[in-house]
Structure formats: structure tokens, C-alpha cells
Structure 1
């Protein structure tokens, strides 16, 4: 749908209000298109978290243009990750941030140390070793949905592959899959009443779910300490990089991050992918005409359009003037809206068109270049590719049959349920 910039004014919206994120897609696109035309990044009041015991904040700036997010991401000394949550504007105590978010809420040198230890398990070479497992898992998932002829694409397809792969990588038994799924939903969807019905209990629900995930992997780590296997938990427990090893607490926090980043975001990309292919049958036909040729471009375009992580927050550490002329001071909060940057007319021709041949496609769906670029990007790309290969091979007529039921969140562009037929 063409986007106009004169329907809604910035003063008409509040990006801190969940009701804005529940508005129709074209209305939100209109708002961000208008915001991108402003001379300076827009400023917004912070959401009210008084029910969680947090005092009112001083507000935040929204970086909505591609170039501005690139600049901030390449200057982590100025736009830091450790002062406040990266997922909202809250400033919890440091121990709480570390407990929940692990290394995405750290700056170098601590961030570099942790990333150096865990990154060895996510290199292209290491990911290629599990390709056969991903192929088999995807083929089985599609085989199992064929008899029913339809259902909920998220729970029956999109969520199952990344969940299984992450759990299998870590050595989590299949009996724990559902528990991991449910707890990750609570952490990422705490403000959605489907997952946490009592709004006043959000903080307790998040902490409880996180602690249960931590205990699961810490218990497994103790087993692997005494009896190593070839899973990722064993690798991380015994990893020694220049004399450095993960503590049990760091391992637990990393698992929470892995579950949320490696499970939730990939499942949402896959769900958005089916919706996009249903709405654009010409692109689906093009992909099916030569799957391998078009797969790389199709996957990148799905991630661009989906933008599973809507934003990440940074906090300014000193006085700084951006290339756009905006002056920041120490303590200013900044939200980098990847979702908006991936629709920036200055970067993408026809940004609202789903085009699997788009080239170049410098989207920020995995973040921007810098120390916090997505560690699991290679794995996510492989999972999306393999899942759609099996879907288009086994059930080529698959399509979504109703609008998606969206997650109530400004942080994750999530799809909770998506009816489909084959």
C-alpha cells in the first residue's frame, strides 16, 4: 500500500503507547515515513512503569533513519548498552540487567570477553555442521502438518524449528521443549495478556520464567562438567579462551538470550515470511521457479520486511553531535528503530514492496555493523531457508488464510497466531 506522509502528524502518536503498535500496519508506516522527514530525531515521553516501582523517566529520542542507526551502532563508546535495558527505557539495577539480558546489555571489554567465548559455536563452519539436523527437523515438521490440511502456522510450524534446533544445540531434552517455549513467550511477551494476564505481575512473571530457564541450563551444565558430550552446553562449560571460562551465572544468562534471540526472532521471521508470500503470489512463484537461486535474496527480504526486533535502546555516555546535527548529552536515551530504518526511502527503492530480487539489501534486521551485530545471523538464515524449502517442496499451495494475531509489544514485531491452509 502506498504510504503518504500527510495523514498523521508526529504529535498524533506516542511510540511508548502499546495501542500505537496495535494500529494497522499502513498507519504505523505512515507515521514512521513522516518521522523520517523530520530534520532531527523525534523525542517522546517514556511509558509509565510506576506499577513496577520505576519513577518517571526523562524521555527518549527515536532514531528512525537508516544512516542515524548506522552511526550510533558504529560508536558504542558513545551509544552504550550497559546503562539501562536495551529492550525498553527502564534503568533496572545492573545485576537485574545482567540476570535477564546477558551480553547484549554489556559493553567492551566485558561484552568482547563473553562474545569471544560463545562465538566459536556460531561461525559459518560450525553452523554448517548441523545442516543435516536442520534439514531433517524441517522435513519432519512439514510431513506432520500435511494430514490436517491447516491450523496455526506459528505453533505448528514457525515456532517448532528454531525451538528444536536451539534446544538440541544446548542438549535440552525434548521433554523440556514446551517449558522453554512457554517461558520464552513470557519473557518476550510479558505485556501481552495471553502470556501474563495480570499486568501488575509482569516483573514477577519475567523473573520467574528467567530463573526457571537458568536453573534448567545450569543443572545441565553440572552434568556436562562431569560427563561431557558434543552439545553446546559441553562446549561452553569447557571452553577456555585465553584462560577465560564462563561462570554458571553467565551460562544461564546466555541461555536466556539464546532462547529469546535464537527462537523468538527466527520464528517471527518465518511467520512473516508465509504472510508475505501469501500476499505476494508473484514473488512466491518466482522463488519456486528456482528456489536455490532466489533463496538468499528471499531470506534477506523476509528479514527486512519482518524486522523481528523493532528497536534496541542505547544510552549516550557524553556530549555528542551526530552527522544530522542532533546534539546529545550524557544520559540521553536513544531507541534505534530498525523497523523504520528497513523502510527508509533514502536507502531502499520502493521500500513497501516485497521483492525477493532486491539487491543490494542493506537491511538492519540483524542489527547494524558493530559489536552487537546478531551472533546467530548465520543460523537464522539457514533455518529460514530450510523451512521454506520444505514448505514449498512438500506443500506448495500453503497460504495464510486470515490476518495474523500480533504480539502486544513495541519491542518485538511478533506474530502469535497465523491461520493457514495447505
Structure 2
């Protein structure tokens, strides 16, 4: 397929370009008539960059399967046997069963308690921020908020939390583009030792909750019995790892990008502060669309099918680029603008719909609303100082650090 020679999404060097340059390259790819194939030894793929194509592929799981894996490299069979298979890599009845168990565990009582806890955590995080006056927003605020909410929801005792926080950092620190002579993509799956330690902690907690249920998410899941079957220890471990790593990392990055965007666009910040309840939902949606915390996921073609002007054959790989779909000019007016009043805003920040739509989207919305309400109404002059320090990554739009400043009222 014809394409500009300076655009190669399979080249690690592309992901070390400034973000603006990468977005401009996606804009050029969206103007082409059909998805472009990018060749790479053993992992070539066709790039789905248009909103309509990403959304359609997401809603056709029988043609575009998540198995054997949505990340690069795909998880090895031995890793799945040891650590369990993540829900994001499942299809069909297996995925439906796991999602049904998890969905039923989120009872109305549990969700109501979680929403109240979100507000309490937001107040406490901002209290401690005002008292300690740290320099890095990511470590002191953006990371802490989702981590504490998830730990409280799951019922993880305080004594385990420092170790789990360290393991999350170790599991995700290699997400990015490796620097050096042998540059290559580094994706989730390299922190296996960290995941192993984390799952040992989860297994211990699961045994405790089976003996003494405590009304938390761990208790609900370990006591679940759907269609005469309960979750195995490996299934529990895989789900907990997904919830801890994905649930914390994606929300952390969205929060960090949110502060940077509101600093860069003071008019939008002023509008949000003028009537927070009116504009909060739109602001969160626009932060997620504009930053797109997860850049891409892979799919494997299972049957011959046509999409976006191309015919795909079984065994081919396609990559769903959410970061491109969320800037599609065919769907969003002035897609590069940050506009909290954008309506409608059919972004694909939580996936493109279908069976893999993010289960935690509502929780992430509540966390961001509660935290920004505290941040924008209590300290004065809260702002990012300089640009976010981003990780060179083809997988997620990760913020390593973000300096900030504020005045107390």
C-alpha cells in the first residue's frame, strides 16, 4: 500500500518523535483510502486509524479477536499458564463468563460505597498535597488517587499497599520504547517477576476472604459461583493484576494530562470552575479524548472480512489506534482543540464499544470529577509548571512526572 516514507508505525524511532509529529502522521494516514500495512519481523500489522474503522473492528469480535493477545509481544503460553489469562485477551464464551462474574460482583451496595469513598480519598489526597507541598503532581496526586480507590474497593489491607505500589511501578516501568543500540518496542509483560509477587499477595488475600468474607470486591469475586463454577486462583490473580495495573495507570495518566491541559487552556479552566457540576462530565470526556491514555490495542483476524476499503484474511494482525481515532476530522470538529463543551463527544478512550468496553469507565469518571473538584476549589492558582515528562511509548500515553505549583487559600 502506498504511504509516506517517513511514517512507519512499526519503527520504534517513530514513537520517540514529539507527540505533535506523531499526531500529524496519523492525520496523513487517515486521508488514505485504506488501512496501511506496516512490516516488522514476526509482528507486521495493518493500522486502523479512522474512528469508524476502530469502532467497527471493536464491535466485531468474531472477525477481529483479542486472543491470543492485544499487546506486543503477545503473552506467551507459559505465562498464561503460570499467571492466568487476562480478560483483555479473551473472546467469546470465556470472556463473557469472566465479565459476567465481575459485573455481578459490582453490586449496588458496593458501588454506592465506592462512590462515597472516592470523595473521601479525593479530599484526603488534596489535604496531604496542601500540607506537604510536593513538586511532582504524578507521584503525590495523580498516582495516589486511583491506587487508593482501587485498594479500598478491593479491600487490600494497609500493610500490603506499599509492596503492591512498588510492584505496579515495576510491572509498568518497561512500557515504552527502549533506548540504546538495539532499540525495540517494550510493551506490557516484561515485569513478570513483579506480577508474580503481586499475585502471591492476591492469592493470600483470596484465601483469607474465602474463610472470612468482608463485603469488598475480593470477597465478592472469591465467593462467586456462576453456572456451578468459581474463579480459579490464576483467574483471580490475572483479574487483580489487570485491575491494579490498568485501573491505576490509565486513570493516573488521564489526571496528569488533565492538569496540563487545564493549565495550557486557562479559558477552559475558568469555564469549568464557573459551574463545575455543569461542565465536569464534559471536561473529563474531553481530557480522555484529547490525551487518550491507551494508544492502541491489537486484534487478530479470524475470518476473511472487509473493513475500511481492505480485505483481511485469517491470521493477519490489525492495530486499533485509539489515539488516531480520537482526532478523526470526520467525527470531531477542530479535533486538536481542547473544548470541554464538545458535544457530542463519541471518543474511544474507553474502547470502541463491543464486549471489551472498559468496565471501569464509570469509576474513572467519578475519580476524576471528585479530584478535580477538590483541586480547583481549594488551593489557589493550581497549575502545571512546564510540560509533562512523557514516556516514549507505542502503548500508552504515560506521564512519568509533572511539576506543579499552587497557593493555599
> Does 2:249 correspond to 1:264?
yes
- One of 212, 215, 221 as aligned partner of 1:230: 215
- Mapped contact 1:404–1:415 kept (Cα < 8 A): yes
Q: Provide the secondary structure at the position in 1 that maps to 2:86.
A: helix
- One of 352, 357, 365 as aligned partner of 1:381: 365
Q: Provide the secondary structure at the position in 2 that maps to 1:356.
A: coil
Residue 27 (structure 1) aligns with: 21
- One of 315, 327, 342 as aligned partner of 2:311: 327
- Mapped contact 1:21–1:410 kept (Cα < 8 A): yes
- Mapped contact 1:159–1:267 kept (Cα < 8 A): yes
Q: Provide the secondary structure at the position in 1 that maps to 2:400.
A: strand
Q: 2: distance between equivalents of 1:202 and 1:342?
A: 22
> Does 2:12 correspond to 1:15?
no
- One of 194, 198, 208 as aligned partner of 1:213: 198
Residue 6 (structure 1) aligns with: none
Q: Decide whether aligned partners of structure 1 residues 34 and 123 sit closer, same or farther in structure 2, where only a CA change above 3 A counts.
A: farther
Matched residues, number: 401
Q: Decide whether aligned partners of structure 1 residues 365 and 191 sit closer, same or farther in structure 2, where only a CA change above 3 A counts.
A: closer
Which residues of structure 2 form unaligned runs of 5+? none
Stretch moving more, 342-351 or 233-242: 233-242
> Does 2:381 correspond to 1:397?
yes
After superposition, what is the alpha-carbon deviation per residue over 1:323-368, rounded to whole angstroms, capped at 9, x for unaligned? Answer: x220111100011000100000000000001100000000000001
Deviation at 1:207, TM superposition (A): 1.3
Q: Decide whether aligned partners of structure 1 residues 160 and 91 sit closer, same or farther in structure 2, where only a CA change above 3 A counts.
A: closer
Q: Decide whether aligned partners of structure 1 residues 127 and 16 sit closer, same or farther in structure 2, where only a CA change above 3 A counts.
A: farther
Q: 1: distance between equivalents of 2:22 and 2:177?
A: 22
Q: Provide the secondary structure at the position in 1 that maps to 2:92.
A: coil
- One of 343, 356, 365 as aligned partner of 1:372: 356
- One of 270, 278, 297 as aligned partner of 2:282: 297
Q: Decide whether aligned partners of structure 1 residues 379 and 123 sit closer, same or farther in structure 2, where only a CA change above 3 A counts.
A: farther
- One of 332, 346, 367 as aligned partner of 1:362: 346
Residue 36 (structure 1) aligns with: 30
Q: Decide whether aligned partners of structure 1 residues 394 and 174 sit closer, same or farther in structure 2, where only a CA change above 3 A counts.
A: same
Q: Decide whether aligned partners of structure 1 residues 141 and 373 sit closer, same or farther in structure 2, where only a CA change above 3 A counts.
A: same
Stretch moving more, 230-239 or 165-174: 165-174
Q: Decide whether aligned partners of structure 1 residues 204 and 40 sit closer, same or farther in structure 2, where only a CA change above 3 A counts.
A: closer
Q: 1: distance between equivalents of 2:344 and 2:328?
A: 14
TM-score (norm 1): 0.89
1:107-256 to structure 2, matched below 5 A, reads 107-122=91-106, 126-192=110-176, 205-256=190-241
After superposition, what is the alpha-carbon deviation per residue over 1:107-145, rounded to whole angstroms, capped at 9, x for unaligned? Answer: 010000000001124477743332221111111111111
Stretch moving more, 204-213 or 253-262: 204-213
Deviation at 1:409, TM superposition (A): 1.9
Residue 275 (structure 1) aligns with: 260
Q: Provide the secondary structure at the position in 2 that maps to 1:371.
A: helix
Q: Decide whether aligned partners of structure 1 residues 203 and 296 sit closer, same or farther in structure 2, where only a CA change above 3 A counts.
A: closer
Residue 411 (structure 1) aligns with: 395
Deviation at 1:408, TM superposition (A): 3.0
Q: 1: distance between equivalents of 2:256 and 2:192?
A: 27
Q: Decide whether aligned partners of structure 1 residues 290 and 148 sit closer, same or farther in structure 2, where only a CA change above 3 A counts.
A: same
Q: 2: distance between equivalents of 1:26 and 1:267?
A: 21
- Mapped contact 2:154–2:218 kept (Cα < 8 A): yes
- Mapped contact 2:71–2:187 kept (Cα < 8 A): no
